[in-house]
Structure 1
Amino acid sequence: MKATTSWAEATLSEFDGVRFLHLDSIWVQGAMRIRKPNQLELEYVQRMMAWLLWRDIDALEREAGELHAVQLGLGAAALTRFCLHELRLRTTAVEINPSVIAACRQWFRLPPDGPRLTVLNQDARQWVDDPAHLQTVDALNVDLYDHEAASPVLDDEDFYAACRSVLQDGGLMTVNLFGRRASFARSSLRIAKVFGSDQVWQLTPTKEGNTVLVAGRGVRVPDRETLLARAATIESRYRLPARKWLRLVRPLPMSILQGLQT
C-alpha cells in the first residue's frame, strides 16, 4: 500500500441482524452477524477458509497451539475471530488503516491482543518482507483492497513471492480476487509464476464476482475419498460449506496457464 497519513474513516451499517463495515463508501468491507460473531457471514469470506481442505483436520486441532494464521487486511475481523476462536490458532492480523482496527475493537468483537492474538497497524508488504517472518506462517489470508474495493492494492510478483516466503513448507495462502474482471488473469498468472501452476487452485466466482485463489508451498492434493471425508468434517465442526467448495475448486484455466510460457 502507498504510504500516507490520511486513511478512509471506518463506518458501519446494520440490516437484518448483520453489521457491515464500510470505508467512506457504499462498498462492504466486512460483515458480522451480531448474535453469532464467530460465524463467517459473507460467502467469499467463508471461501477464504478453503485452505482447510488441504490440511488434516485432526492434526490441525492437535497442533493448533503451534500453528500460525495471518490475515493481511483486517476487514471486519471475521477471519481473525474465526482463526482465533474456532480454530484456536495463534493469529496475527496486519492492517494499515488505524480506523479499521479501532472499528473492529469497538463494533466487531475483536478482542485485545493477548498470547494468541496480535493485531498490527502496519503495511502488509513491510510485514511479508521482514526476514523475521520467513517460514513462520501456516495459513495466510490476503484480502487487500482500497476503500472503493476496486482492485487489490498489492498485486505484483514480488509481493506474492514474499507471501510464499513467509509460509512454512506445506503452508497455504488464500487470496480474494475479482474473477469477472480483466485483472483476475493478470493476478492469477503472477501467483502461478511464484507458486508453480501445480500449487494454485481457484474456486468459481461468487455471485458478487469474488474469486478465491488457494496457493500452497509444497502441498500435496489428497485423493478424492480423503477430500470428501475432510469436507464432511469441516462442515460438522466449523459449519462451513466445504462439500460445496469441492464442487467449485479447480486448477487455473489453460487460458491463464499459457501465459507461463511467455
Structure 2
Amino acid sequence: MEPVTFSESGGIRYLHFGTELIQGAMRIRDPNEIYLEYNQQMMAWLLFLETKPGMRVAQLGLGTGALTKFTHLHCPAVKSTVVELNPAVIVSARSMFSMPDDDRRLETIQTDAKAFVKSSKYKNSFDAVQVDLYDAICDGPSASSLEFYKGCYNILKAPGVLTVNLFSRHKSFDINLKNICEAFDNRVLLFPESHDCNVVAIAFKGPKLEAEWRDVSARAKLIKAKTDLPTHQWVSGISRENVRQESKLSI
C-alpha cells in the first residue's frame, strides 16, 4: 500500500501518496466544499438523475472523501457506498478531511474496486457510479481494462450514469476512453480538459436520452441554487466538446 501523507498551503490541505503529486484537496475553512474542478464535475450525474429515496451511489476510490461528503450533505435521500482498498486512506479521510463515519446513508467497504464491480452481489444496484482510482505514480487510472468498465456497467441500474476521472495528457487516456465507449455502447460524453489536465467522462446506461440543452441548463441552475456547484459552465462545455451534441443532447 502507498504511504499516505499530507501538506497544507494557503488554507488548503492536500492528500498525497508519498510523493508531491496531489491525490485530493480540502479547503480547511469549508471542508464540505468540493475544492478541485474535476471533482466538482464528477457530480454531473445530478444533471441527468433526480435524487429520490432508495437511490444508491457507488464511489470507487475515496481520496479525501470530497464527493462522499458532498453527497451525504446535499443528497439526503441517497445512500453512498465507498470502495477503497487502502485502509490508511479511509482513516485519513475521517481524521484529516472531515468525512463522516458510516451510518444508514453511508457504508465504506475496504476492498479492490476491480473485485467489487465483478461481484454478482452488486449487479444492477447503483443509480450512479463515480470512479477516481489513481496510485502514487498518478499517470493514469489504476483500473482501466474493458473488463473493469463492463463491471461498472453491470453494477449500474438502468437508467444509470457513470462518471470517471481521466488524465488527458497520457497514453492511458485513449485506452480508458476506448474501453469505456465499448462497455457503454459509445454512449459517452466528455467535459473539456480542466486546468490540471483531468478530463471527466460521463457514460450512460438505459434508454436513449434526448433533451434540449435549455432544459439541461434549467436543471443545472437548480443544482447550483441548491448546492453551489459551478454548474453554469457544465452545459456549454459538454455541448461544445462533443460532436453531434451542439443543438441538443442526444445520447
Q: Mark yes or no: TM-score above 0.5.
A: yes
Q: CA RMSD in A?
A: 1.5
Distance in 2 between residues matched to 1:90 and 1:248, nearest whole Å: 29
**Do the aligned partners of 1:202 and 1:213 also contact (CA within 8 Å) in 2?**
yes
Matched residue, 2:6: 12
Distance in 2 between residues matched to 1:113 and 1:53, nearest whole Å: 26
Matched residue, 2:129: 140
Instruction: Give the 5 Å matches for 1:24-173.
Output: 24-56=18-50, 60=51, 63=52, 65-88=53-76, 89-173=78-162
Secondary structure at the aligned position of 1:140 is classed as strand
User: Can you list the C-alpha shifts for 1:33-84, whole angstroms capped at 9, x where unaligned?
Assistant: 112111100011001111211124xxx2xx1x31111110000000011111
Structure with the larger helix share: 1
Distance in 2 between residues matched to 1:20 and 1:53, nearest whole Å: 28
Distance in 1 between residues matched to 2:235 and 2:242, nearest whole Å: 15
Please list every run of 5 or more consecutive structure 1 residues that lacks an aligned counterpart in the other structure: 1-6, 255-262
Distance in 2 between residues matched to 1:110 and 1:23, nearest whole Å: 18
Secondary structure at the aligned position of 2:210 is classed as coil
Distance in 2 between residues matched to 1:232 and 1:39, nearest whole Å: 18
AA of the residue aligned to 2:136: H
- Does residue 212 of the first structure (1) align with residue 200 of the second (2)? yes
User: Can you list the C-alpha shifts for 1:163-183, whole angstroms capped at 9, x where unaligned?
Assistant: 000001011010000122232
Secondary structure at the aligned position of 2:175 is classed as helix
Distance in 1 between residues matched to 2:178 and 2:85, nearest whole Å: 26
User: Can you list the C-alpha shifts for 1:1-57, whole angstroms capped at 9, x where unaligned?
Assistant: xxxxxx11211111122111111000111111112111100011001111211124x
**Do the aligned partners of 1:54 and 1:222 also contact (CA within 8 Å) in 2?**
no
Alpha-carbon shift at residue 253 of structure 1 (Å): 6.1
Secondary structure at the aligned position of 1:28 is classed as coil
Matched residue, 1:240: 229
Distance in 1 between residues matched to 2:114 and 2:101, nearest whole Å: 24
**Do the aligned partners of 2:5 and 2:15 also contact (CA within 8 Å) in 1?**
yes
Q: Count residues with an aligned counterpart.
A: 241
AA of the residue aligned to 1:215: A
Matched residue, 1:259: none
Secondary structure at the aligned position of 1:49 is classed as helix
Alpha-carbon shift at residue 248 of structure 1 (Å): 1.2
Alpha-carbon shift at residue 102 of structure 1 (Å): 1.0
AA of the residue aligned to 1:163: C
Equivalent of 1:174 in 141, 146, 163? 163
Q: Which stretches of structure 1, 4 residues or more, deviate above 2 A after TM superposition?
A: 180-183, 250-254
Distance in 1 between residues matched to 2:210 and 2:85, nearest whole Å: 34
